[in-house]
Structure formats: structure tokens, C-alpha cells
């Protein structure tokens, strides 16, 4: 097994999708580094900071370099020998440049200029992919909420049945969180647009007298923006990105955990869609395990723990602190890839979800109607007061359940109740669906608001 499971030839597909791997894999990253450095040389030459012929040679060399295993090995040796993060890359390109041109490669820039600019580009690409997955999930959940807005099921608190709700109400709750995450993604994008070109301490002293112009042209070419002030030690936006991933994956984990529980053999109200050939258990062939729901929890934990590490960078010493900033090199790719996989898995999960309304109703019947104790207490309280009503229903419930009576039988045989509420049966009080009107109404209100956006 690979020492990093994201890179495992066997298991890697469970931890990152190919489109995210194409952003964060080392060959892809170094290729993008070389493109960034090509643009830098061309921009600096445009403002006569370096010779134009040298810039042309640098750009041609960088873009012609194939970042394969041999090249990465060469760069790795250079790093190991020097102890500097990009010295190996500098020497590898220097050796490939025509004579003299390599002297101007990587001119006036720092490791953090390169890696922060690359990271902004990588996060922005990931942002698009996560938004696409989120849109897909919402496009599934919104019609599902409408479809099941009147499908009665048990609402549970503390793991116990409490009151009737509808499955559509539960789904709308999931969709509401996803809709807010979509808003948050839109809100954060402008703050993700900033690249870094500021030199050793962020002062831009190495970019000459036209530094702001170099910055603007450089970032325009890379579809980024120059930050109003250098952010070498300000890592709040990187931390914000990680925390947004925590929120998004937290919702995915919550949905997965709910499906995991509702799929339990004893409950069986929903099930992950079955794919022919899927094996639930090597030793128990009958099992259909909630593998996707379970893995959402695993991936979300990866996101949360990496986000905590990223937040350590908020406490940054002076103008640069490698202890804080370099931890992002490990944590940002892992958190982002795990979040991307989380979203693609969740999209498939809700798309193929099997819903069993009959089992939902049957599970409500397990309580023999006692989930209606609260609305009965409130109706009786209007006649005799809340405290007295609670005592009457409490005593009746204990005795009836000990005697094996249904809620309806117990209520209709209790004169303390029927004296004040004689028409319960005629009014349809014992119909569960009568007590979920607001659930359906809230679904409709939510869908109307989403449709108006």
C-alpha cells in the first residue's frame, strides 16, 4: 500500500476523483509551477526587468519540459542536496536553458510567491468542481423533497420516535444546508482570486520600480488578482476555504449518517441503491452495507482534521513562518480532494436512494399511536391547563402501555379526556398525516424561495 492512501493504486479511487487528482498530483502541480514561472519571466521582460531573449528561452524551456518521473527525481535530488524547497527545480531548469538564459530564471521571486499562486489556482479549479457537484445534489434533493412532502414517517429525538414528520421535510432540511453552502461558495470566490508576488518579506522590493504593473500583468495572464497588500503571513482566506469544506462535508456526513441509521435492518426506511456485483460482506453474503454513507463519514473526518491543521497557520510569526505555512502543502490538497470525493459520492447516493414509505408508516405503528401524545396534551391543555393535561396523558400512557393497549383505545376509554375532547375520532385526530401539515407547508415554502432565486 502507498504510504499516502490518496496515491494508492488500489484504494486511491475511494479518496479522490481523477479531476481533483489532475489538479493536485505532483506532476500536475510542477507543470503548473513551470507555467507560472514562464508567465513571470515573460511579464518581467515586458517591463525590462530581465532580458527579453532570456525570458523567451526560459518560457520555451519550461513549457517544453516534460514533468515525468525522471524529472521529478532530478528535482528531488536538488532539494535533498540543498535543503531549499525549490532549488532543485531552479537547477533542473537552469541546466535545460540555453547558455546564459537560466541566470534570469526565477528572478526576484520566492518559494511562497510560487506556491501561494499555484495554490490559489488549484483552489479555484477545485471550487468550480465542488460547485458543480453541489448544483447536481440540489437538483436531486429539491424534487425529492417535493415528491415526499406528504410521506409520513417518524420524527426522532435522542434516537427515539417523537412525533410524525414527513420524509420530504427531512430532505428539504438537507437541501437547505446545501443551498446555503452554495451561497457561501459564491461569497468566498472573490477572496480566493488573489495570487502572490511580493518577495522575501512581502515588500515587493525585488520587482523593481514598476512592481505594481508587473503584478497586474502577471496575475491578469494567470486569471488572478493582485492583493491590495501582500498576504505572506495572512492565511485567513486559506483557513476560510478549509472551514467551508468542513461545513459542506459536515452536511454530507450528516446525510450519510442519517441514511446509515435509517437503513438499519430494524428500521429499513431508506436504502442505498444497489449496484450489481457490489459485495457487502465477504463472510455474510446476504448483507447490503451502507458503504457510501459510511465512507462519507471517513472522508469528512479527513477534511475536519486537515482543516484544524490549516487553521494553525492563522498564528503566523513575523512576515513568514514555515511551521505554519508549509503545513498547508499537505493539508490543503488532502482536504480539498477528500471534499471533492465526498461531494461526488453524495451525489450518487441521493440519486440512487431507495425510499420505502410503507416501512416508514409501519415503524410509526410500532408505538401504537403514542407518538401523538404531544398534540393530545396540547389539545387537552386548552381545556384543563398544561400541567393537569400532562399528568392525565402521562398516567394514561404508562397504564395503557403496560396493558398492551393502543393509544387510540386508551384515549377513547379515558373519561378525563373524552369529557373535554369528545370528537377526537370524528375529527381524524388519530390520522398521523393530520399532524404533518406544517412539514409539507415548510417544504413548499422552501421550494418557492429556492425557485425564486
Q: What are the catalytic residues?
A: 158, 281
Go through 325-361 and write b for each residue having 16 or more CB atoms within 10 A of its CB, e for each that does not: bebbeebbbbbbbbbbbbbbbbbbbbeebebbeebbb
Select from 285, 273, 286, 404 the least CA-distant residue to 345.
273
What is the C-alpha separation between 339 and 449, in angstroms, rounded?
Answer: 27
DSSP string, 217-260: HHHHHTT-EE-SS--SS--HHHHHHHHHHHHHHHHHHHHHHHHH
Residue 374 contacts by C-beta under 8 Å, 6 or more apart in sequence? 162, 163
Select from 166, 164, 170 the least CA-distant residue to 374.
164
Go through 54-63 and write b for each residue having 16 or more CB atoms within 10 A of its CB, e for each that does not: bbbbbbebbe
How far from 387 is each of 379, 384, 429, CA to CA, in Å? 12, 8, 21
Dihedral of CA atoms 434, 435, 439, 440 in degrees, nearest 10, equals 0
DSSP string, 139-203: HHHHHHHHHTTT-EEEEEETTEEEEEEEHHHHHHHHHHHHHHHHHHHHHHGGGG-EE----TTSS
H-only helix segments in 25-110: 26-46, 52-64, 69-82, 87-96
Across the chain, which distance is largest between two alpha carbons, in Å? 103
How would you classify the pairing of strands 354-355 and 270-271? antiparallel
Dihedral of CA atoms 145, 188, 6, 117 in degrees, nearest 10, equals 160
Residue 25 contacts by C-beta under 8 Å, 6 or more apart in sequence? none
How far from 33 is each of 37, 63, 264, 439, CA to CA, in Å? 6, 10, 49, 52
What is the C-alpha separation between 406 and 420, in angstroms, rounded?
Answer: 20
Residues, the chain: 453
Amino acid at each position: 500500500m502507498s504510504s499516502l492512501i490518496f496515491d494508492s493504486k488500489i484504494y486511491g479511487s475511494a479518496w479522490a476523483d481523477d479531476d481533483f487528482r489532475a489538479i493536485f498530483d505532483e506532476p500536475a502541480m510542477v507543470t503548473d509551477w513551470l507555467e507560472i514561472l514562464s508567465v513571470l519571466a515573460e511579464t518581467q521582460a515586458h517591463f525590462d526587468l530581465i532580458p527579453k531573449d532570456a525570458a523567451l528561452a526560459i518560457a520555451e524551456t519550461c513549457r517544453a519540459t516534460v514533468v515525468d518521473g525522471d524529472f521529478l527525481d532530478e528535482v528531488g535530488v536538488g532539494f535533498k542536496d540543498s535543503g531549499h524547497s525549490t532549488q532543485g527545480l531552479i537547477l533542473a531548469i537552469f541546466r535545460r536553458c540555453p547558455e546564459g538564459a537560466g541566470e534570469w530564471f526565477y528572478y526576484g521571486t520566492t518559494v511562497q510567491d510560487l506556491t501561494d499562486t499555484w495554490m490559489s489556482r488549484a483552489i479555484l479549479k477545485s471550487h468550480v468542481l465542488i460547485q458543480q457537484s453541489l448544483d447536481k445534489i440540489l437538483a436531486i434533493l429539491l424534487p425529492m423533497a417535493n415528491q415526499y412532502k406528504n410521506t409520513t414517517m417518524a420524527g426522532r429525538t435522542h434516537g427515539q420516535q417523537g412525533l410524525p414528520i414527513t420524509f420530504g421535510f427531512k430532505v428539504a432540511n438537507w437541501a437547505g444546508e446545501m443551498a446555503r453552502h452554495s451561497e457561501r461558495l459564491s461569497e468566498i470566490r472573490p477572496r480566493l482570486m488573489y495570487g502572490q508576488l511580493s518577495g522575501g518579506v512581502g515588500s515587493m522590493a525585488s520587482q523593481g520600480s514598476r512592481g505594481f504593473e508587473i503584478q497586474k500583468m502577471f496575475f491578469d495572464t494567470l486569471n488572478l488578482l493582485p492583493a491590495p497588500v501582500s498576504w505572506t503571513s495572512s492565511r485567513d482566506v486559506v483557513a476560510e476555504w478549509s472551514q467551508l469544506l468542513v461545513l459542506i462535508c459536515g452536511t454530507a456526513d450528516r446525510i450519510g449518517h442519517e441514511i446509515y441509521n435509517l437503513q438499519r435492518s430494524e428500521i429499513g426506511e431508506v436504502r442505498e441503491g444497489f449496484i450489481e456485483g457490489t459485495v457487502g460482506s465477504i463472510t455474510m453474503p446476504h448483507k447490503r452495507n451502507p458503504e457510501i454513507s459510511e465512507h462519507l463519514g471517513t472522508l469528512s473526518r479527513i477534511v475536519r482534521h486537515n482543516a484544524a491543521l490549516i487553521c494553525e497557520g492563522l498564528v503566523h510569526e513575523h512576515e513568514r513562518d514555515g511551521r505554519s505555512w508549509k503545513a498547508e502543502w499537505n493539508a490543503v490538497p488532502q482536504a480539498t480532494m477528500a471534499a471533492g470525493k465526498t461531494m461526488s459520492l453524495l451525489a450518487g447516493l441521493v440519486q440512487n436512494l431507495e425510499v420505502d414509505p410503507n416501512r416508514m408508516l409501519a415503524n410509526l405503528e410500532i408505538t401504537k399511536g403514542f407518538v401523538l401524545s404531544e398534540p393530545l396534551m396540547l389539545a387537552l391543555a386548552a381545556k384543563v391547563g398544561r400541567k393537569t393535561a400532562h399528568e392525565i396523558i402521562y398516567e394514561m400512557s404508562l397504564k395503557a402501555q403496560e396493558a398492551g393497549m393502543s393509544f387510540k383505545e386508551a384515549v377513547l376509554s379515558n373519561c378525563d379526556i373524552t369529557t373535554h375532547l369528545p370528537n377526537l375520532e370524528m375529527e381524524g385526530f388519530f390520522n398521523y398525516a393530520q399532524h404533518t401539515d406544517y412539514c409539507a407547508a415548510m417544504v413548499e415554502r422552501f421550494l418557492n424561495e429556492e425557485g425564486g432565486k
